[in-house]
Amino acid sequence: MKFPKIAETRKKSAPSKNKAPLSIITAIAAVSLWLTAGTNLLPAAFADASQSADPSQSHEKEPFKADQTPPDMVVDERTEMEMLRDLGDSLKKLEHAATETIHEVNRYAPSPVNSDDILNAAVMDPFWAQPFDPTLTASLRKGAQLPPRKKWLDFDVSQVEGVVGILQHEVSSLCPPVALSNTARDSFKVELSMMSEANGKIQSDNDQLKTLAKGPTYDSDKIGKTAHDMRIAARTIEECRKRAVKALSKK
């Protein structure tokens, strides 16, 4: 029996250097085909994800209905109480800004000081507990009305406008807590309704005040009356706010 030589066996079994295995060729062809095809060969899941990422394909939320509680509004008693406290601070700031506006349009020149003023000062403070200042007594007898100063009137009106914007947000954010009893919730809703009505009056007065303060001429009486009406409406909201706090404490 004749056996082949070892060298001949190695020569027949060794793979050719110029030919690649069939599996490698198939893999390279598949990769090139996938690259040339581009995104058309993407799986359906990737295609759905790309479509959902497109802003034009986004769906808007359903509009809020008046008979539903807004989903982004916190309606627990503790948070609502803090919101009512903030509302009280805003009302104080509005009262201050409106009062400063009234003071600016109600400036008067001091009248001359005479012997009557000195006598009145002595009668008002017979023991001279305070340093004598005749102008304090003279200011009770007002002289000619002075026109408002533009720089301070603009500042006061801008202060009013800023607080009114905050007030609008705070009043519109109030909502009866869900844990209240039916009686307390009804009382709270009544106060909210009155607050909204008074707040609407403040918003319209603010628009009128900005129009009156544009200048170049100023009607001091109208400006003062409009600012005073805002103070009256703010006091109405303050009374409603106090009653709303009592309604929350009842639960």
User: Which class for 203: exposed (0-12), middle (13-18), buried (19 or more C-beta within 10 A)?
Assistant: middle
Structure tokens at 19: 């030919």
Q: Which residue has the higher pLDDT, 115 or 94?
A: 94
Provide CATH 1.20.120 ranges for the chain. 77-107+147-250
- Residue 134's identity, in one-letter code, is P
Residue 210 CB neighbour total at 10 angstroms: 15
For residue 201, give every residue at least 6 positions away whose Cβ sits within 8 Å of its Cβ, in sequence order, or none.
Answer: 229, 233
* CA–CA dist 213, 204 (Å, integer): 14
Band of residue 30 on the pLDDT scale cut at 50, 70, 90: low
137 contacts 124 by C-beta, under 8 angstroms: yes
* CA–CA dist 174, 190 (Å, integer): 12
* CA–CA dist 185, 106 (Å, integer): 44
Instruction: Give per-residue pLDDT as tens, 170-209.
Output: 998 888 877 777 888 888 889 999 999 999 999 999 999 9
- Whether the pLDDT of residue 42 is over 80: the answer is no
Band of residue 58 on the pLDDT scale cut at 50, 70, 90: very low
pTM of the model: 0.59
- Please, how many CA atoms are within 13 Å of residue 114, restricted to the half-sphere of its CB? 4
Structure tokens at 162: 């800023």
Q: Which residue has the higher pLDDT, 93 or 11?
A: 93
160 contacts 94 by C-beta, under 8 angstroms: yes
pLDDT reported for residue 79: 78
> For the chain, what percent of residues have pLDDT higher than 70?
56
Region of poorest pLDDT, from 73-77, 81-85, 171-175:
73-77
Band of residue 28 on the pLDDT scale cut at 50, 70, 90: low
**Which class is 77-107+147-250 in CATH?**
mainly alpha
